[in-house]
Structure 1
Amino acid sequence: MDVTSQLGTFAAGLTYADLPPDVRERCRMSFLDAIGIMLGAADFAKRDGDRCLETYLEGMAPPGKATVLGYGIRTTPLMAAFANGTLMEALDCQDSNMKALMHSGSSVIPTALVLAETNPITWADLVPAIIAGYEVHTRLMLAVQPGHWYKGFQGTGTFGTCAAATTAGRLLGFDARQMTAALGISGFIMPVSNGDNQFKGYNVKPVHGGQAAMCGLSSAYMAQAGYRAGPLEGEPPRHHAALHILSDGPNLERTLAGLNETWHTRDVAYKPYPIGHFIVGVIELILDILAERRIKPDEVASVEVTTYKDAVTSTGKKYTTTQSNHVDAHLSIPYCVAVTLADGQMTSRQLLKDRLRDPKLHELASRVIVSEDPTMTKAYPNEWPARIVIRLHGDGSIERQIDKVKWSPHRTPTWAELSEKFHLMADPIIGPDRATRAIENVAKLKEGSTLASLIMTLTKK
């Protein structure tokens, strides 16, 4: 099946007018959300004393015209895409598609942003480029999941490279032939993003968003220069290419089913808290309980969390210590439950080193037991059910269950809710007035608008 060329033709030809109004607005929401996330991650790194990205850029990023948000650094589009993509993944607060198990925005939005800053690109150009990136990414992932995940690969970094290449190619004005070449190249140079570096607490984890953005943009530049590569589905007799070697055997029909008719971008979910999506429902339940009554940590005998298998295996058995970092913490159900009970909130402040050094938190987390409910596993990924039972010393207990989680496709956030999140992330680093102007700028973007005013708001004091 000729998958790569058909996806390339789709992406190269997609226009603003082709997109349903609700899909265009979903793009606006993801764009605003991503900018806030990047700014919030830069602020978090500074407050946490983490200079890894800054030090790397000081040594490796030459001067240029593209902005690293939150740092005031202007460098080449490739390096800015890398840095902003890394920021997208730093707090695990990015948008997701749980059916395809990846974060398209981590590579697509940084790529779109640097090209829109350095080229005369309008909103009418940007929207189809972003949506094309999301759609191509999702369709490729649907072909390889769940085997890709269970083999240990992380689709944000692997096929996220194809997503960024798609967005870049669309913004660089590629025809179908060039777009197909960019996709083929992206399948050749994509990072081997893996689950151990995602879930074992290594601080390199967010880099896979940056690598996907940079490699995807690089793929487009290579195609523009004349490089060519074979298709993502490979060629006979061996088919030694990304879709086959990174899966248990791809379902190629899923990449093309409903092309130009079914918009998988509608399945994008957002995160109200800076934690893994597997954990969002559990924390929503905790916060709902705390809104009704305050619970002191020393009242808690145990917390029983029941949820679906992937949530249990990836985040339910991870117990933290005072030596854990924020990567450990925001992908740990026990820690997130404990700190939310203790602090009454789940924000980036709950992930700072100073907070992680409190031994009482980890002792409370040790009282959190997470187990699978097979019925919930069957409901996933259409729903992400979770149940909690907080057992208090004595005979008291509090029980809650949720199926349709906050900001999932079943309960999409409003513009006002995403704006509130944007302020939470961006205010500490650019101030509330500039954050408000940025929100207004994104809200007012029309077909002929450029991003000049928005970029100035984000970068100029």
Structure 2
Amino acid sequence: MSATKNIASFTSSLRYEDLTTEVIEHLKLCLLDTLGCGFYGSKLPWSQKVIEAVKELSGDHSENGSRIFSYNEKFSPDHAALINGTLIHSFEFDDLHKSAVIHPGAEVIPVLLSLSEYLHNKGEQVTGKQFILALAVGYEVGCQVGMVTGSEQLNKGFHPSATSGVFGAAAAGAKLLGLNAEQTLHAIGIAGTQASGLMSAQYSAMAKRMNPGKSAQSGVLSALLASKNFTGITNVLEAEYGGFASTFADTSINEDEFNDLGKSYEILNVGFKPYSCCGSNHTTIDSIMEIIEEKDGPFTVDQIVKVEIESTTATKHHVGWDYEPSGTIGAQMNLAYATAVSLLDGVCSVEQYEDQRIQSNDVNQLIKKVQVVPNIDFDVFGREGRHHIKLKITFRDGSVVTKEKTHAKGSMFHPLKPEEVKRKFIHLLTTLYGKDVALNYLEDITRIDDYSDINYFLDGIHKNLVVRE
């Protein structure tokens, strides 16, 4: 066996009965959160640009295609996965595995949505339990690969959701298609050679939104190619020359890596975002919310003299760069912006990243008082503590408040309660469809494993949640 073969073996052999109730219920929350983000993302301008462009390429799939969030049009399965993955990640609100540095929902769930319809169009039925099982495989594989390589990739400037993410996407697709261990091995090998994505997209490029969608698209293509016995790189993860770990992360993977998959699940460490911005900002935002409560905030620009944030080197590189207004994407990926708008508004949700707020004078004035500096001593916290910060705010009245925090609300260390994830979902869908529809849809998702044919579930989604022709 080898590391890549271990993953293929786990993927092909895992059974629904192997999943604990805890894992199944957490996956339902992942699905709920991801679908909420996808439908909300469908209204955004950059999402519509992707849809329009892909529509020109995809051709007419009115009979046998796969559907996308909020639209009636159907697309080829790989194009539907590309679009849906982009929509899910289009507002920095989707789920996150902090240590693996991936957003598994945007990479895995689009694969399963599009392939479920692909199989239905071929006359094959996918049950709710099969869907959940493939979801478990995709999440676990993506997270496990990311755990080994994600932080190193991020430091080199790769976007792990677009690189590590392809493995989870391909594994999920292989499982749903019922591929055997050999075919699954090749699906993973085909996916690995398609991995790509650069973090420099985070400053202003709409391409940042598309990176997880590309992972999903590659996952669909990889699984379908492998089902035709097309071959991939059978040692793609551990190969010394041209392997994924050696090339993307300057590291090595042992032959026996991943040989204990299924004994415990990284799925349970996938967290949900309470704030609609990069997860590296969340420890600072949490600290600000505590200060607001303690000092009867929110505050005005004049009340604050300066804000100093010490961070890990990784956080400085990722979100601590000097901010210049460049639109929603740059604002969501920047720590100074998140700091300023949170101090002024006392909340950091979707409304804080609308154009009017981004361009407002008070936010941009306060940003000039925010300084982010790396503290190499914080790097000892490792990959799990890469969001560690120390926040110091000096107020005009002479008072100084300091907060130090390692783990944010919504992370594996301080997870959101199921009720909080559900409230987030209801809030997002209510903005488009109203609360009654949101509540009905929530109920459908919580019982997805009871469906004998997942297509009935998908039909229900698109019947009630289509707002565009």
TM-score, normalised relative to structure 2: 0.90
**Residues 1:179 and 2:178 are matched in the alignment:** no
1:6-17 residue pairs with structure 2 within 5 A?
Answer: 6-17=6-17
Amino acid in structure 1 at the alignment position of 2:52: T
**In the alignment, is residue 440 of structure 1 matched against residue 443 of structure 2?**
yes
Alignment partners' CA distance in 2, 1:366 and 1:457 = 49
Indicate conservation of the 8 Å contact 1:320/1:335, yes or no. no
2:55–2:75 CA contact under 8 A, matched in 1: no
Seen in structure 2, the aligned counterparts of structure 1 residues 189 and 453 have a Cα distance that, compared at 3 Å, is: same
Q: Does 1:318 align with 2:315?
A: no
1:207 Cα deviation (Å)?
Answer: 1.0
Q: For residues 416 and 454 of structure 1, do their structure 2 counterparts lie closer, same or farther at Cα, with a shift above 3 Å needed? A: farther
Distance 1:55 1:233, change over 3 A: closer
Aligned to 2:101: 101
1:307 equivalent to 2:311? Answer yes
**Do structure 1's residue 66 and structure 2's residue 63 form an aligned pair?**
no
| Count of equivalent residues | 453
For structure 1, which segment, 94-103 or 75-84, has the greater mean C-alpha deviation from structure 2 after superposition? Answer: 94-103
How far apart, in 2, do the equivalents of 1:386 and 1:11 lie? 37
* Structure 1 residue 141 displacement after superposition: 2.5
Rate the CA distance shift 1:254–1:394 in 2: closer, same or farther, 3 A: farther
> In 1, are the aligned partners of 2:6 and 2:259 still within 8 Å (CA)?
no
Structure 2 residue aligned with 1:458:
461
Distance change (3 Å), C-alpha of 1:154 and 1:458:
same
Alignment counterpart, residue 404 of structure 2, candidates 401, 404, 407? 401
Q: Is the 8 A contact 2:10 2:262 kept in 1?
A: yes
Match of 1:194 among 198, 213, 223: 198
Gaps of 5+ in 2: 465-469
CA shift for structure 1 position 111: 0.8
User: Once structures 1 and 2 are overlaid, which stretch shifts more, 31-40 or 355-364?
Assistant: 355-364
Within 5 Å, give how 1:53-452 maps onto structure 2: 53-64=50-61, 65-118=65-118, 119=120, 120-190=125-195, 192-197=196-201, 199-233=202-236, 239-252=241-254, 255-292=257-294, 293-294=296-297, 295-321=299-325, 324-383=326-385, 384-452=387-455
- The answer to whether the Cα contact below 8 Å between 1:434 and 1:457 also exists between their aligned partners in 2 is no
Change (3 A) 1:255 1:426: farther
Alignment-derived partner of residue 467 in structure 2: none
- Residues 223, 202 of structure 1: alpha-carbon distance in 2 compared, 3 angstrom cutoff: same
More deviation, 442-451/94-103: 442-451
Q: 2:160 is paired with a residue of what secondary structure?
A: coil
Deviation at 1:31, TM superposition (A): 0.7
- C-alpha contact 1:183 1:232 (8 A) present in aligned 2: no
* Matched letter for residue 433 of structure 1: D
Q: CA deviation at 1:331?
A: 0.8
Task: Please state whether the residue corresponding to 1:346 is helix, strand or coil.
Answer: coil
> 1:431, 1:420 → 2: CA distance?
13
1:300-324 residue CA offsets vs partner (Å, 9 max, x unmatched): 1111222322112211123132xx1
What do the CA deviations read for 1:98-125 (whole angstroms, capped 9, x no partner)? 2222222221011112223443212211
Report the Cα offset of residue 374 of structure 1.
Answer: 4.0
* 1:410 aligned partner, one-letter code: F
- For the residue of structure 2 that corresponds to 1:135, the secondary structure is helix
| 449-458 or 310-319, larger mean C-alpha shift | 449-458
Q: Matched residues in 2 for 1:375 and 1:134: separation?
A: 32
Shift of 1:73: 3.0
Cα 1:112–1:247 shift into 2, 3 Å: same
- Return the offset for 1:244: 2.8
Gaps of 5+ in 1: none
1:441·1:453 contact (CA, 8 Å) conserved in 2? no
The answer (yes or no) to whether the contact 2:303–2:397 under 8 Å persists in 1 is no
In structure 2, relative to structure 1, the CA distance for the partners of 1:7 and 1:285 (3 Å cut) is same
Note the aligned Cα RMSD (angstroms): 2.2
8 Å contact kept, 2:167–2:219: yes
Q: 1:344 to 1:374 in 2, by over 3 A?
A: same
Whole-angstrom CA distance in 2 between matches of 1:239 and 1:371: 37
Percent pairwise identity: 22
Are residues 382 and 151 of structure 1, via their aligned partners in 2, closer, same or farther at CA, if it must alter by over 3 Å? closer
Describe the SS at the equivalent of 1:255.
Answer: coil
Is the contact between residue 308 and residue 380 of structure 1 (CA under 8 Å) also seen in structure 2? no
Separation in 2 of the partners of 1:308 and 1:447? 45
Q: Aligned with 1:369: secondary structure?
A: strand
In structure 1, distance between residues paired with 2:300 and 2:357: 17
Closer/same/farther in 2, CA of residues 290 and 456 from structure 1, 3 Å limit: farther
Deviations 1:129-155 (Å, cap 9, x if unpaired)? 111112222222333343322222222
Tell me the amino acid that sits aligned with residue 176 of structure 2: L
1:66-94 deviations in whole A, cap 9, x for unaligned?
22113343222211100011112211112
Tell me the amino acid that sits aligned with residue 63 of structure 1. Answer: D
C-alpha distance in 1 between matches for 2:314 and 2:238: 33
- The one-letter code sitting in structure 2 at the alignment partner of 1:9 is S
C-alpha distance in 1, partners of 2:150/2:106?
19
Q: Residues 53 and 74 (structure 1 numbering): CA distance in 2 closer, same or farther, change over 3 Å?
A: same
Aligned partner of residue 174 in structure 1, secondary structure: coil
How far apart are 1:53 and its partner, in Å?
1.9
SS of the residue corresponding to residue 250 of structure 1 reads coil
**Kindly tell me: are residues 136 and 51 of structure 1, through their superposed partners in 2, closer, same or farther at Cα, counting changes over 3 Å?**
closer
- Measure the CA separation in 2 of the matches of 1:8 and 1:362: 50
- Quickly say closer, same or farther: Cα 1:132–1:50, change in 2 above 3 A: closer
Secondary structure of 2:302's counterpart equals: helix
Contact 2:246 2:252 in 1 (8 A): yes
Q: Which moved more, 1:16-25 or 1:30-39?
A: 16-25
